Amino acid sequence: MTAHPLVERLMTLLGPDHVLTDPGVMQGYTLDWTRRWSGVALAVVRPADTAQVAAVVLACSASGVPIVAQGGNTGLVGGSVPAVVPGAGGPPVILSTRRLTRLDPVDDVSGQVTVGAGVTLGDLHRYVAHQGWEYGVDLAARDSATIGGTVATNAGGIRVIAHGMTRSQVTGIEAVLPDGSVVEHLAGLAKDNTGYDLAGLLTGSEGTLGVITAVRLRLHRPHAPSSVALIGVDTWDDALHLLHAAVRHGVPLLAAEVTDETGMELAMRCASLPWPLETRHPLVLLLEIADGGEGGGFVPQVLDGRDVVVGLDAGERARLWAYRELQSEAFSSYATEVAGGAAHKLDVSVPLPKLAEAATVIRERMAGYPGVKAFGVFGHLGDGNIHVEIVGPAPDDEEVDRRVLEAVGAFGGSVSAEHGIGRAKVGALHLSRSLAEMSAMRAIKQALDPRGIMNPGVLLADRVAP
Ligand SMILES: Cc1cc2nc3c(=O)[nH]c(=O)nc-3n(C[C@H](O)[C@H](O)[C@H](O)COP(=O)(O)OP(=O)(O)OC[C@H]3O[C@@H](n4cnc5c(N)ncnc54)[C@H](O)[C@@H]3O)c2cc1C
């Protein structure tokens, strides 16, 4: 059978080993982590460097074939796999960045490093740790999620309370734009007011404006050894009260996470873990503090009279973190087990003073929704960011998502705190962004990608087929 002319061209550019067309082999790239989103690709290409990425983009652009940039494929909103968009130029080429693994020497004076988009978060952590540095973004998918993917989604994670989101770490970027041009601004200057901030624009752009090939990142000196406490709490207000007490008393917080009882039970079931506290509680708060690892940083106002367990060494800390880190996986495996499908995963944020009320309203909206077999909430309490997991409704049931997202919009929250809009929330963007903002975003997209070849159906699409 004759190959598609673009596929032949891509094979010439990259060599046949790095252009995949076998549907079985491509499945790991066309089905997303949640198993809720999938798509059809013309081919998967694996360029080795920026020049090859530019060549692929030019070839696709010349053929009018769309491109989906993909890193670790751990995104949770369907943005990393092809969407079906009528009139968008046929099945896209998936451009895997996993071979872009450049790791430059750490600049000890500025505390920065330049890395390829395909380096995983875990590999970056290990690389800089050997040289006495730490990278400020961390999340449970660290061993698969790539730097390019975390920048493209402006990932949050478990250290936002200490270091901010990914955008705060990015000091420079290299990317291939839809016309094949390479923008490279990697000096990482502390002061640089020379016009539009392309690094800031591409951060959080979800593959819709170009392919990020390398990033310059800010590093931190490692924090003091830490202590972790799991604390049983009965209400969201009580959890927030404890968090405020910790902040008020100057506790050096590294993380403040919360998991509800359903999530705790599913994590226990998923990894055969025991309940970690004396008694059951509706919520379990995890606080990690940089106190030298002696637990002495937990002031009495936070722990006294509480059902609590504290971990001081690396093994204990990991044991206590496991309940929280297993959440997404635990809901997904329960969904496969009882519903034969995928869990609905909604990542939202609301202003902290409204968090307790919002959590109650969302729970009420889910109560009695047809087919819900499990419902749970966990997340980054310190950031007002909760992840809502719903097991039971069919993967294409958008009404259940809408009920949650509309409640969030009514509380002045964000329909996407850290995972992005992807395909999953295209129809909900207006709940968090004004018409004027959306029209400014469309103008940027139109200017950089007039033919709409970069990740069609994601973020700004007017219409996406399921
Ligand atoms: C268990 C688990 C826990 C998670 N925890 C968190 C969390 O705490 N916080 C959080 O924010 N996220 C979390 N995530 C979501 C996910 O890990 C992040 O969104 C991550 O940033 C995605 O990285 P990736 O390399 O897998 O990107 P992919 O999934 O491959 O892609 C994600 C998006 O980025 C685009 N993209 C990828 N690479 C590039 C590139 N080089 N150039 C341009 N666009 C690109 C894709 O087109 C897509 O739109 C979690 C996921 C899992 C599975």
Give the residues surrounding ligand 1 with Cβ less than 6 Å away: 33, 68-76, 79-80, 97, 117, 139-141, 145-146, 148-150, 152-153, 155-157, 206-207, 211-212, 328-329, 418-419, 455, 458
Q: What is the pLDDT of residue 184?
A: 98
Nearest to 425 by CA among 453, 448, 406, 410: 406
Nearest to 385 by CA among 99, 156, 52: 156
- How much is the average pLDDT of 374-390? 94
* Closest-lying ligand 1 atom to the alpha carbon of residue 418: 11
CATH number of 226-325: 3.30.70.2190
List of residues 6+ apart from 259 with CB closer than 8 A:
267, 283, 284, 286, 323, 324, 327, 378
> CATH 3.30.465.10: does it fit domain 112-220?
yes
* Core vs surface per residue 62-83: b (16+ CB within 10 A) or e: ebebbbbbbbbbbbbbbbbbbb
Q: What is the pLDDT of residue 463?
A: 42
Q: What is the pLDDT of residue 3?
A: 82
List of residues 6+ apart from 231 with CB closer than 8 A:
242, 284, 285, 286, 287, 302, 303, 306, 307, 308
Ligand 1: which residue has its CA nearest to atom 20? 150
Ligand 1: which residue has its CA nearest to atom 19? 75
- pLDDT surpasses 70 at 283: yes
Mutate to test the pocket of ligand 1, among 29, 31, 80, 154 (most ligand atoms within 8 A of CB): 80
Burial of 92 (0-12, 13-18, 19+ CB in 10 A): buried
Distance 71 CA to ligand 1 centre (A): 7
- Structure tokens that stand for 31 in this block: 């089905």
Residues 296, 297, 303, 309, CA torsion sign: negative
- pLDDT surpasses 60 at 28: yes
* Closest-lying ligand 1 atom to the alpha carbon of residue 97: 41
Q: Render pLDDT for 133-172 as a digit per residue (tens, 0 to 9).
A: 999 999 999 999 999 999 999 999 999 999 999 999 999 9
Q: Kindly report the pTM of this predicted structure.
A: 0.94
Distance 138 CA to ligand 1 centre (A): 12
Band of pLDDT at residue 89, cut at 50, 70 and 90: confident
- Give the distance from CA 382 to its chain's centroid: 17
Q: Render pLDDT for 166-190 as a digit per residue (tens, 0 to 9).
A: 999 999 999 999 999 999 999 999 9
Band of pLDDT at residue 464, cut at 50, 70 and 90: very low
Nearest to 387 by CA among 302, 260, 242: 260
Question: 331 and 259 in contact (C-beta within 8 Å)?
Answer: no
- How much is the average pLDDT of 452-457? 96
Q: What is the pLDDT of residue 462?
A: 60
Mutate to test the pocket of ligand 1, among 33, 45, 70 (most ligand atoms within 8 A of CB): 70
Distance of alpha carbon 166 from alpha carbon 311, whole angstroms: 28
Distance of alpha carbon 355 from alpha carbon 231, whole angstroms: 19
Q: Render pLDDT for 331-381 as a digit per residue (tens, 0 to 9).
A: 999 999 987 788 999 999 999 999 999 999 999 999 889 999 999 999 999
* Closest-lying ligand 1 atom to the alpha carbon of residue 34: 53
Question: 219 and 134 in contact (C-beta within 8 Å)?
Answer: yes
346 in helix, strand or coil? strand
- Give the distance from CA 365 to its chain's centroid: 25
Triad 182, 183, 185: Cα angle to 5°: 140
Distance of alpha carbon 359 from alpha carbon 131, whole angstroms: 42
CATH architecture group of domain 333-422: 2-Layer Sandwich (3.30)
- pLDDT surpasses 50 at 131: yes
Distance 94 CA to ligand 1 centre (A): 15
The chain-wide mean pLDDT, for the chain, equals: 94
Distance 248 CA to ligand 1 centre (A): 34
In the chain, domain spans: 112-220, 226-325, 333-422
Distance 132 CA to ligand 1 centre (A): 26
* Closest-lying ligand 1 atom to the alpha carbon of residue 158: 8
Burial of 22 (0-12, 13-18, 19+ CB in 10 A): exposed
Ligand 1: which residue has its CA nearest to atom 11? 155
Mutate to test the pocket of ligand 1, among 33, 139, 328, 332 (most ligand atoms within 8 A of CB): 139
Q: Where are the beta strands (DSSP E) in 148-300?
A: 170-176, 182-185, 211-220, 226-233, 253-260, 283-290
Ligand 1: which residue has its CA nearest to atom 21? 150
Question: Can you tell me which residue has the tokens 């367990």?
Answer: 309
Distance of alpha carbon 356 from alpha carbon 457, whole angstroms: 34
Ligand 1: which residue has its CA nearest to atom 7? 157
Distance of alpha carbon 344 from alpha carbon 460, whole angstroms: 21
333-422 matches 112-220 in CATH topology: no
Q: What is the pLDDT of residue 387?
A: 96
